[in-house]
Structure 1
Amino acid sequence: MAVQPWEDGVDLQLHGIGGYRTVGSTEDAARCLLELWPRDSGKAFMAAQRACLAALEGKATAAKARSAFIKAAEEADIHIRSHEDPRKVAMRNPAISQAWRKANRDAIDAVEKSVTKLKAERERFFRARRNSED
């Protein structure tokens, strides 16, 4: 049984808010499913166990075990931290994309208003300074 590291680890929130654990191999995934999983039932959970065992026995690939492991995490409502650019993720879903664009526009508008206000304050300051020097 050879170690089967994954090209990309999977960061799971298993230990409360902010308590992430990176699962980086088929062996680690199998251990996680057996020892740390919040539920010991479900179709995806059982499929992930089978996929990990098959990969460890050389009958399946590590990529297949990783994919099954992710599906089991989704089934168990375990948060998976994404290393993907959130803008790319948002663009895949039109509803999220529109919400993201609106939030982005709102943030840009707020920054522009702040900059305008700061420029006006700066101008008043320098005007008052010039007047006091005269």
Structure 2
Amino acid sequence: MNTTIWDANVELKKECEDHFDVIRNPRDALAYLLSKWPEGRGASQATARRACLGALAGTNTNAEARAAFEFAAREAGILRQN
């Protein structure tokens, strides 16, 4: 099982603008996708979920999982821009 830390963290906005969640690997991303994702899940959320599951199983790379997760977060409006 792949639990390697991503090269760069993905930061997600919380309701309070002063706080954010930090996603460091496919396992963190999958947990967020399944339990904290905002309403209105779309195709990019499902793609990110599959990519993270694939990374954990070793069929996708960490980079693929991170890219899919970041895209879904941007589309959902929760990606924190630095």
TM-score, normalised via structure 2 length? 0.90
Q: Structure 1 residue 19: deviation in Å?
A: 1.7
Alignment match, 2:18 = 18
Which structure shows the bigger proportion of residues in helix conformation?
1
Alignment match, 2:63 = 63
Alignment match, 1:32 = 32
Indicate the structure (1 or 2) with the bigger Cα radius of gyration.
1
Q: Does 1:52 pair with 2:56?
A: no
Q: Which runs of 5+ in 1 are unaligned?
A: 83-134
4+ residue runs over 2 A deviation: none
TM-score, normalised via structure 1 length? 0.57
Letter of the aligned partner of 2:65 in structure 1?
A: A
Q: Structure 1 residue 39: deviation in Å?
A: 2.5
Q: 2: distance between equivalents of 1:79 and 1:60?
A: 22
Contact 2:11-2:20 within 8 A present in 1 as well? yes
**Which secondary structure does the structure 2 equivalent of 1:45 belong to?**
helix
Contact 1:39-1:76 within 8 A present in 2 as well? no
**Which secondary structure does the structure 1 equivalent of 2:9 belong to?**
strand
Q: How many residues align?
A: 82
Contact 1:5-1:24 within 8 A present in 2 as well? yes
Alignment match, 1:41 = 41
Q: Which runs of 5+ in 2 are unaligned?
A: none
Alignment match, 1:103 = none
State the Cα RMSD in Å: 1.3
Contact 2:73-2:79 within 8 A present in 1 as well? yes
Contact 1:42-1:75 within 8 A present in 2 as well? no
Contact 1:11-1:23 within 8 A present in 2 as well? yes
Q: Structure 1 residue 65: deviation in Å?
A: 0.3
Percent of pairs with identical residues: 37
Q: Structure 1 residue 81: deviation in Å?
A: 3.0
